[in-house]
Structure 1
Amino acid sequence: MRTKNELYQQALRTVAMRRQTARALAQDAQAEAEAAIPGLRHAEEEVRVRGIRCAIAGASGKDRTETAAALAAAKQKLTALLAGSGRPADALEPKFTCKRCEDTGAVNGRTCDCVRRVMQQLRRKEIEELSSLSVSSFDTMQLDYYPNTVDKALGESVRSYMAEVLADLRDYAADFSPATRESLLLVGNAGLGKTHAALAIAGEVLRQNYDVIYVSCPDFFGKLEALHFGTDPSGEEETLFQTACNADLLILDDLGTEFSSSFFLTNLYSLLNNRLGAKLPTIVTTNITDGTLLEKLYTEKISSRLAAFVQIQFLGSDIRVQKAAE
């Protein structure tokens, strides 16, 4: 799990590599064209010289009519040579991925949107590696797997109930803001789509340029504990904890599958308390459907923090089992 700054630096390196690659390919194309087209190198030099003269004339306040005309004629000659060999006018120019910043990563002193898009892609890849699931969308959640039979407690079918749940979660993601969105507790038996729904929210929130951190409870707190009681010269434990604390949206998956210890309980409480205090939304998924058991496992202090979350019940039959039987 990388911090937002680490993600930003990696995105800058990715964009810089794109620029380097584009320029290298342009140099190869230029060398190939010069070898194939007689007079091309001279025509390129003529464009360069005429361009410098035109710029000097403009900088000194002189009339640029003559120098501009000479530059245009030189460019026309170069274009004609390229066209004669079946090459487009921009054949010798670098093909940058981002036309706006030409893969420099900045426009008018501000970070270009292409850097933010790379950050999204990097975070999506990280989440998919940590969750072993793709960051998909609500469109991939098939309602056909939820029973179309009436549930007496609901007074409606599980399928229609889950359609409403997923619609509400879709709305939650579509109009996301860390300052206004509440925290969610997705509760239900295994295989009902809780993690899938959380990752669908993650995909939409990332698209809106917010940063999302996904952690699996056993993996995340297990790593923190190993660092705490082992060797941690670089302070990775604190960095990981603060990254989770400060994310625009934190997804805490599979609460209830971790190894419970005093270290875990202390850090879970601190994490939830810090984020609630900062008014940053957290999505927790758990298979623990009994509120009494939840309090017994996680102490009154933690369960009181979770009680501040909006609880959303997932119902139905294990979708993974249904898919395996198909």
Structure 2
Amino acid sequence: MRTKNELYQEALRTVALRRQTARALAQDAQAQAEAAIPALRHAEEEVRVRGIRCALAGAAGKDRTEAAAALADARQKLTALLAESGRPANALEPHFTCPKCQDTGSVNGRTCACVHKVMQQLRRQEIEALSSLSISSFDTMKLEYYPSVADPEIGESIRTYMAEVLADLRDYAADFSPATRESLLLLGNAGLGKTHAALAIAGEVLRQNYDVIYVSCPDFFGKLEALHFGSDPNGEEEALFQTASNADLLILDDLGTEFNSSFFLTNLYSLLNNRLGAKLPTIVTTNVTDGALLEKLYTEKISSRLAGFVQIKFFGNDIRVQKANE
């Protein structure tokens, strides 16, 4: 899991590599064109010289009409030479991925939108590497896997109920804002789509240029504990904890499958408390559906924090098993 700054720096390197590649390809194209068109190098030099003369005339405050006309004529001759060989007028120019910043990563002194897009792509890749599922959308959550039979606990068809749940979660993601969105506790038995729904939310929130951190509870807190009691010369433990604490949206997946230690309880409480204090939303998924068991496992302080989350219970039969039997 990378910090937001690490993600930003990697995105800048990615964009810089794009620029370097585009310029290298343009140089190759120029060399090939010059080899095929004997008069091309002279035509390019003529454009360069005429361009300098036009710029100097403008800088000196002189009339640029004649210099501009000569430059236009030189460019026309160059374009004609390229056309004769079947090449477009821009054949010798670098073809940048982002025309707005020309792969510099900056426009008018501000970070270009293309950098944020790369950051989003990198974070998506990271989340997919850390989770058991790829980031998809709510469209891939098929209601036919939820039984169309009534459940006494909800008093209606499970399929109807889950359609409403998924619609609410889709709305949650569609108009996301860290300042206004509630924290969610998605609970239910294994294989009912809790992680799938959380990742669908993540994909939509990332698309809106908010930063999302996904962690599996056993993996994340296990790594923190290993760093805490082992060697951590670079302060990775603190960096990871602060990254999770400060994310626009944090997804804590599979609460209840971790090794329950005093270190885990202390850090889980601190993480939840920090995010609640900063009014940042967290989505927790868990197979623990019994409130009394939740309090027994995670102490009254932690369960009281989780009690402030909007609880959304998933119903149905294990979808993974259904798909395996198809």
1:269 & 1:156 partners in 2: Cα distance? 36
Match of 2:99, SS?
A: coil
Instruction: Map 1:1-326 onto structure 2 (within 5 A).
Output: 1-326=1-326
The amino acid that maps onto 2:117 is R
Q: Distance in 2 between matches of 1:132 and 1:114?
A: 28
* One-letter code aligned to 2:256: G
In structure 2, runs of 5+ residues without a counterpart are none
Q: Deviations over 1:259-290 (max 9, x none)?
A: 00000000000000000000000000000000
Superposition deviation, residue 133 in structure 1: 1.2
> 261-270 or 145-154: which moved more?
145-154
Shift of 1:113: 0.4
Structure 2 CA distance for aligned equivalents of residues 153 and 251 of structure 1: 27
Describe the superposition over 1:20-60 as per-residue Cα deviations: whole angstroms up to 9, x where unpaired: 00000000000000000020000000000100110111111
Compute the displacement of 1:156 (Å): 1.5
Which secondary structure state, in structure 2, belongs to the residue aligned with residue 19 of structure 1? helix
Residues 263-319 of structure 1 deviation map (CA, whole Å, 9 limit, x = unaligned)? 000000000000000000000000000000000000000000000000000000000
Distance apart, 1:155 and its partner CA: 2.3
Cα deviation 1:237-265 (Å, max 9, x = unaligned): 00000000000000000000000000000
TM-score of the two chains, using structure 2 as the length reference: 1.00
Q: What is the rounded CA distance, in whole Å, between the counterparts of 2:86 and 2:231 in structure 1?
A: 63
Shift of 1:216: 0.2
SS at match of 1:300: helix
Counterpart-to-counterpart distance in 2, 1:210 and 1:60: 49
2:312 partner SS: strand
Deviations 1:218-246 (A, max 9, x none): 00000000000000000000000000000
Structure 1 segments of 4+ aligned residues over 3 angstroms from their partners: none
Question: Structure 1 CA distance, aligned partners of 2:258 and 2:150?
Answer: 35
Distance 1:291 1:149 in 2: 25
When the two structures are superposed, what TM-score results if normalisation uses the length of structure 1? 1.00
C-alpha distance in structure 2 between counterparts of 1:323 and 1:176, whole Å: 31
- Of all paired residues, the percent bearing the same amino acid is 86
User: Which secondary structure does the structure 2 equivalent of 1:192 belong to?
Assistant: coil
Q: Residue 14 of structure 2 aligns to a residue in which SS?
A: helix
TM superposition shift of 1:4: 0.3
Residue 151 of structure 1: how far off its partner (Å)? 1.8
User: Shift of the alpha carbon at 1:153?
Assistant: 2.8
**Matches of 1:221 and 1:45 in 2, distance apart?**
63
Aligned counterparts of 1:188 and 1:208: Cα–Cα separation in 2? 28
Instruction: Report the Cα distance in structure 2 between the residues aligned to 1:46 and 1:191, rounded to whole angstroms.
Output: 69
SS at match of 2:283: strand
SS of aligned partner of 2:260: coil
Alignment partners' CA distance in 2, 1:300 and 1:132: 31
SS of structure 2 residue aligned to 1:58: helix
Structure 1: state its 5+ residue gaps.
Answer: none
Amino acid paired to 2:88: P
Letter matched to residue 122 of structure 1: L
